[in-house]
Chains A and B, each alone.
Chain A
Amino acid sequence: MSAAQVDRLQFRDPARARGLLDRLRALTAHRVDRPVTLMHVCGTHEQAIARFGLRSVLPPGLDLVMGPGCPVCVTSAAEIDAAVDLTRRGVRVATYGDMIRVPGTTLSLADAQTEGGRVELVYGVDQAVELARAEPETPMVFFATGFETTAVTTAAALLAGPPDNFFVYSAHKYVPPAMEVVAAMPDTRVEGFLAAGHAATITGFELFEPMAKAWGKPIVIMGFEPLDILAALVRAVELVVSGTPTVENLFPRCVTGPGNGRALDALWQVFELTRGHWRGIADLDAADLDLRAEFARWDARVRFDLPRQLGDGTAHAACPVCPPQQRCGDILVGNARPDDCPLFGKACTPDSPVGASMVSSEGMCRIWFQYGGRPELGP
């Protein structure tokens, strides 16, 4: 038996999944009228939940919502505009595939490419560094998006000493402040959080302990296989039902209390937290990862004079391209489901996305469009 088969048996066993689902159903039977609401904050979680068809079997007493967990979705339109502007100034721009089609105020990077701009799709920052090395006369800007997980790789590339024509435009974001925004919303229905296992692999789970205490809501670290997800849901519901606002790690094969020390050292050596703009949500304090002054020589904002732009602090003004009836902001903070938005699947589709959440494969709208959300797909 191959390693991959063993892995599938351990974490993808339908019989065990049925047992966990029965437990979830029993735990939430008394809450069918007012479902236990849990929030996860990770597009990869939503992907996994949808891809394994878990939404079609979750009990009616549980409402599992996605929070602001799609880094591409919360990248501000002004930052995309800045990247488009760079391509018009003869700069090569490299970024992740998901980012290319997200509309800025007028154009996406894909549009900039159709216009003749040089946009490179890369799988990681290393590839962008290589592309820069191969053409030393042309400036190359890595448009760096993603949460702390991805930011660590950007940090490592800068610490390794990239070539002089390589620059980073950091649109990296930090997850905990976004969770705090949701927890602090006066009308929030969220009773417990499921933290992203890969981000917690870097940050560790101890980081969440003061938050759980302050918010009075449990936080469970969740992995990405079907049994990881179901086991974490069971534990989170147990903690909610028993009124125990603690942190529990249900992804212990990757996540430790203090996290990955080397990665954290690299992260904070290169980045510092700054006030930033989250598309569709608001300006958030200490929520963006900015390059420290010591790394200014590789900072595209410095080199190309692109100051950080903030919104006016309100949710709706946060996205200049949103039509007023669009509900991106509500969806991003878990107050609405994609199919609550009148544009979903009609004016807003993966072919012609209006909101960023329909572009990224990590976006909830895109995932629901692709996998059917919570459809009645039974025989």
Chain B
Amino acid sequence: MSDDRIKMAHGAGGSLMRDLIGDVFVRGGGDDPDVVGPEAMEDGGAVRVGDRWLVTTADAHVVAPAFFPGGDIGRLAVCGTVNDLAMMGATAPLGLTITVVVEEGYGRDELRRIQASIDAACAEAGTRVLAGDTKVMGKGEVDGVVLSSAGFGFADRLVRDRGMRPGDRVIVSGSIGDHGLAVMSARHELGLGDQLRSDVAPLNGLVARVLEAVGADLVGLKDATRGGVSAVLHELADKNGAGVVLDDVALPISDAARAAGELLGVDPLVVANEGKAVLIVRPGAVDAALGALRAHPLGRDAACVGEVIADHAGRVIVDTGFGRRLLAEPRGEPLPRIC
């Protein structure tokens, strides 16, 4: 089969998606020091306005099922957008836009529930929807409901992807894998009940605390969405020509996520989070960063989980406590194993 057709794997946040973006959507650019454009492949773009940066981001949301344990597509749209802005250093989002594409026959009550979630998440993040658009498509032309969102806000200092160096430490802001495994469990009706809930949450308040505590010692910041912590660390390792060693024993993974992961044969490190950040900090700032994170309700389980090394550029190594192995870079959608 020809490689010119887009497959589902091209949208899964791994290296295939990065290849597609580099091949089709991003050609050239990057020569204006006052602009961060799509060629930088960061969480958002930015333009310099006076002595500040105006940060913007765009996101589309196609989660199935649209309502899942711990959240729904409306909350996801707001949090995803707010978090992308926060990861660039813009922690006070000025406003969002939300476009709703809905399938003929979809329930008005479901739409109301989604809108209520949007309102609640905006209140939590301290922002608002400034504009929107509604489109209806014919039966079968779209699967239920699709949301597309954008957001903007100012950052005094941009947090970029290219500041990490050997010796820096890797911190995660809390337990990992919950969102992806909760959605997979719901999608495939694994019947894990209420134990596994999505972590979808706006991280701007949490990030603001960390920036206040460690300032320029925070040298990398990404939300671990599609492709999970693994995709984020591979991207950072690749962009900075460094390696990363992760301490498996230190990784905060809930018992429910661990169990679902073992059941499905899916590593919690490669599934999406919607309320977790990966932070790269200078070694002297670890305690201050952890202190700031753990003082916030969304960062209580924050942990230092690894270190940046000079060797093994572009690779992520897991120290399992028994031995060492490579961490897989997610490529396509994780498929559950057969036995």
A residues in contact (CB < 8 Å) with B: 2-5, 12, 14, 17, 43-44, 47, 50-57, 71-72, 96-101, 107-108, 110-111, 114, 121, 123, 127, 145-147, 149-150, 198, 226, 350-352, 360-362, 370-372, 375, 377-379
Contacts and interface: CB of A to CB of B under 8 A. Distances in A.
Contact of A377 (B325, B328, B332, B336): B325
13 contacts: A53-B323, A56-B324, A71-B339, A97-B337, A111-B1, A114-B7, A121-B335, A127-B188, A352-B3, A360-B337, A362-B338, A371-B326, A378-B324
Interface in B297-326: 309, 312, 317-326
A372 B255 contact: no
Given A99-B338, A147-B339, A198-B339, A377 B259 contact: no
Interface string B264-287: 110000000000000000000000
B16 interface: yes
Nearest to B6: A114
A316 B105 CA distance: 55
Nearest to B319: A53
Nearest to B318: A53
A102 B235 CA distance: 28
A12 B324 contact: no
A377 B322 contact: no
Given A54-B323, A370-B328, A362 B337 contact: yes
Given A4-B258, A53-B318, A351-B331, A96 B338 contact: yes
Nearest to A110: B7
Given A351-B9, A362-B338, 11 more contacts: A3-B255, A53-B324, A55-B325, A56-B324, A96-B336, A99-B338, A121-B335, A127-B188, A226-B322, A361-B335, A370-B326
Nearest to A371: B325
A283 B258 CA distance: 40
B331 A150 contact: no
A298 B337 CA distance: 25
B135 interface: no
Contacts of B336: 96-98, 121, 123
A371 B337 contact: no
A111 B328 CA distance: 24
Nearest to A115: B1
Nearest to A2: B255
Given A114-B7, A361-B265, A371-B328, A53 B320 contact: yes
Contacts of A12: 321
B337 A375 contact: no
Query: Which 8 A-B residue pairs are closest in the complex by CB-CB distance?
Result: A53-B323, A97-B335, A372-B326, A96-B338, A377-B324, A56-B323, A57-B323, A53-B325
Contacts of A51: 320, 325
Contacts of A127: 188
Nearest to B307: A379
Consensus secondary structure, chain B interface: loop
A338 B7 CA distance: 27
A361 B324 contact: no
Interface in B1-51: 1, 3, 5, 7, 9, 16
Contacts of B259: 4
A251 to B, nearest CB: 16
Interface residues of B, number: 34
Contacts of B324: 53, 56, 375, 377-378
A257 to B, nearest CB: 23
Contacts of A123: 188, 190, 264, 336
A129 B121 CA distance: 40
A52 B338 contact: no
Nearest to A149: B339
B338 A150 contact: yes
Nearest to A18: B322
B5 A114 contact: yes
Nearest to B253: A4
A110 B324 CA distance: 33
A52 B323 contact: yes
Contacts of A110: 7
Nearest to A230: B322
A378 B255 CA distance: 29
Contacts of A52: 320, 322-323, 325
B338 A146 contact: yes
B339 A54 contact: no
A100 B336 CA distance: 11
B325 A56 contact: yes
B315 to A, nearest CB: 8
A54 B318 CA distance: 12
A351 B16 contact: yes
Contacts of A97: 335-338
A351 B243 CA distance: 23
Nearest to B326: A372
Contacts of A378: 324
Given A4-B255, A5-B255, A71 B326 contact: no
